[in-house]
Amino acid sequence: MKHAHLNILESSIVSLSAGTEDSDFPLYRLYDRNVGRLFKPTAAETIEIKITPNELINPGLETGDFTGWAPVNSAIDSTTFRSGAYSARLIASGSAIDGARQDVPVDPTKVREVQCYGRVGSYVAGTYQINILQMDSDLNYITGTALTLVTLSANSGFVFGGTTIGPSGSGAAHTFAPGAAYIRKQHKWSGAGSEGVGWMDDVVIMKDIALDRLLIPAGHNLGGMTLDIKYSDDDITYTPAVAQFTAPDGVIDKSWTGLTKPFWKFIITSPSRVPEIPELFLTATYEWARNPSRPAGDLDEKFNVESALTAGGQDRFLVMGDSKRQRSYKVPRMPEAMRDALLALNDAWKGAHPFWLHDHTGEWIYGKLARPMDVQEVAQGSSSLTFDFREVLP
């Protein structure tokens, strides 16, 4: 058995080259159910979905706090934001002031794309800026490396700023300085007498990500359409991860030798109708260190109903759909490395995100954990594992 996990779209910024999404959720949450109906303006227009994994922790402040950030005079704002439900707010009251920052380690031999959105309100004086600075290994600023992505000296809506940094000759707009080990993202008010309110949201420092598979469950309407998965080191030249292919009507499953790259694209060429994608997974495959090759016991049918009471106290039952198959797996003994990996995955899933499991018959099953994984130490350096897996789609 092996299973694909940690859909990269959860932690990535995803942009669409044509059309808009018909959804209550932003496009970068394509892993959600019923998200990702794409509208194309013309029948012949190719659609490109670009995936840029984000290296920042809590880039949109969506934890509702400054997890991953040094707050530095800033506050969380839940009333003014570009997306999600939060942003970082910095108020200047008559003088220059530094705001929240985050330091991200970087490999100066790779191209990094940096982006953000800034906004100003109640403006009186000064300049609100969102900057990036190159820092050495001791987090000392490298003189002359500051770049301003957003600069505002008047009230505004959210304004985009972005650029690229890379090694000399890479084609990036800016070059890493000798000794650069970190990028610092920071917002601030500059200038004597600065007064106003600035907001920062949707911050990106792109990173490399290892991927080896595309999975789209049944329920899409891509059958017969021409699809591509491509990658790039510089966001200029893109190379196919797999040969261009025609989508089948059922599960779409394409794999390739694992690649670690910073830019990825999913391309639908000249679709004949409006594409509909319930979920789109770009993912890495996790190989079990010790294989729980067969489920323990029978495949159980779990009724998909919900019990409720009327206002008068009578029983009633809400049928939520067809019954779902559930299976249990057991590993009597496994090494520490496998235990640590599974506990990390268990924490990441938290029962909230579906994933794919490759079962003993060779079938990919799309489902979720029915309860947290149960990991018990049975001896020094050895543990046991049990978990229940319930399908989401048959």
Q: Give the Cα separation of 270 and 43 in Å (integer).
A: 7
Structural domain spans, the chain: 2-52+209-287, 75-205, 296-393
How much is the pLDDT for 60? 87
Q: What is the largest CA-CA distance in the chain?
A: 75
Residue 248 pLDDT > 80: yes
**Best-predicted range by mean pLDDT (30-44, 345-359, 373-387):** 373-387
Partners of residue 116 on adjacent β-strands: 161
* Over residues 367-385, mean pLDDT: 83
Amino acid occupying residue 196? G
244 confidence band (pLDDT: 50, 70, 90): very high
Q: Give the Cα separation of 373 and 343 in Å (integer).
A: 8
How much is the pLDDT for 318? 73
Residue 16 pLDDT > 50: no
Partners of residue 15 on adjacent β-strands: 50
What CATH architecture applies to the domain 2-52+209-287?
A: Sandwich (2.60)
Residue 304 pLDDT > 80: no
Residue 31 pLDDT > 70: no
CB neighbours of residue 44 within 10 Å: 10
* Over residues 358-373, mean pLDDT: 74
Report the length, in residues, of the chain: 394
Query: Strand 209-216 to strand 281-287: parallel, antiparallel, or no bridges (unpaired)?
Result: antiparallel
320 confidence band (pLDDT: 50, 70, 90): low
Residue 6 pLDDT > 80: no
CATH number, domain 75-205, options 3.30.930.10, 2.60.120.260, 3.30.70.1150, 2.60.40.10: 2.60.120.260
* Over residues 85-101, mean pLDDT: 95
Partners of residue 178 on adjacent β-strands: none
Q: Which of 77-81, 210-214, 242-246, 365-369 has the lowest mean pLDDT?
A: 365-369
130 vs 99, 118, 127, CA distance in Å?
A: 9, 7, 10
* Over residues 172-196, mean pLDDT: 95
Amino acid occupying residue 243? A
* Over residues 125-135, mean pLDDT: 97
Residue pair 283/4 in contact by the 8 Å Cβ criterion: yes
CB neighbours of residue 269 within 10 Å: 14
Does 2-52+209-287 match 75-205 in CATH topology?
A: yes
Residue 27 pLDDT > 60: no
pLDDT tens sequence across 45-92: 787 777 767 788 888 898 899 999 999 999 999 999 988 789 999 999
* Over residues 216-245, mean pLDDT: 88
278 confidence band (pLDDT: 50, 70, 90): low
Using alpha carbons only, how large is the chain's radius of gyration in Å?
24
Q: Give the Cα separation of 96 and 105 in Å (integer).
A: 27
Residue 210 pLDDT > 90: no
Residue pair 158/117 in contact by the 8 Å Cβ criterion: yes
User: Quick one: what percent of the chain has pLDDT higher than 90?
Assistant: 37
SS (H, E, C) the chain: CEEEECCHHHHEEEEECCCCECCCCCHHHCCCCCCCEECCCCCCCCEEEEEEEECCCCCCCCCCCCCCCECCCCEEECCCCCCCCCEEEEEEECCCEEEEEEEEECCCCCCEEEEEEEEEEEEEEEEEEEEEEEECCCCCECCCCCEEEEEECCCCCCEEEEEEEECCCCCCCEECCCCCCEEEEEEEEEEEEEEEEEEEEEEEEECCEEEEEEEECCCCCCCCCEEEEEEECCCCCCEECCCCEECCCCCEEEEEEEEEECEEEEEEECCCCCCECCCCEEEEEEECCCCCCCCEEEEEEECCEEEEECCCCCEEEEECCCCEEEEEEEEEEEEHHHHHHHHHHHHHHCCCCCEEEECCCCCEEEEEECCCCEEEEEECCEEEEEEEEEEEEC
Query: Mean pLDDT in the chain?
Result: 79
347 confidence band (pLDDT: 50, 70, 90): confident
How much is the pLDDT for 144? 96
How much is the pLDDT for 139? 96
How much is the pLDDT for 125? 96
Q: Give the Cα separation of 134 and 165 in Å (integer).
A: 10
Residue pair 101/69 in contact by the 8 Å Cβ criterion: yes
How much is the pLDDT for 297? 66
How much is the pLDDT for 288? 60
Q: Which of 76-85, 101-110, 185-194, 293-302 has the lowest mean pLDDT?
A: 293-302
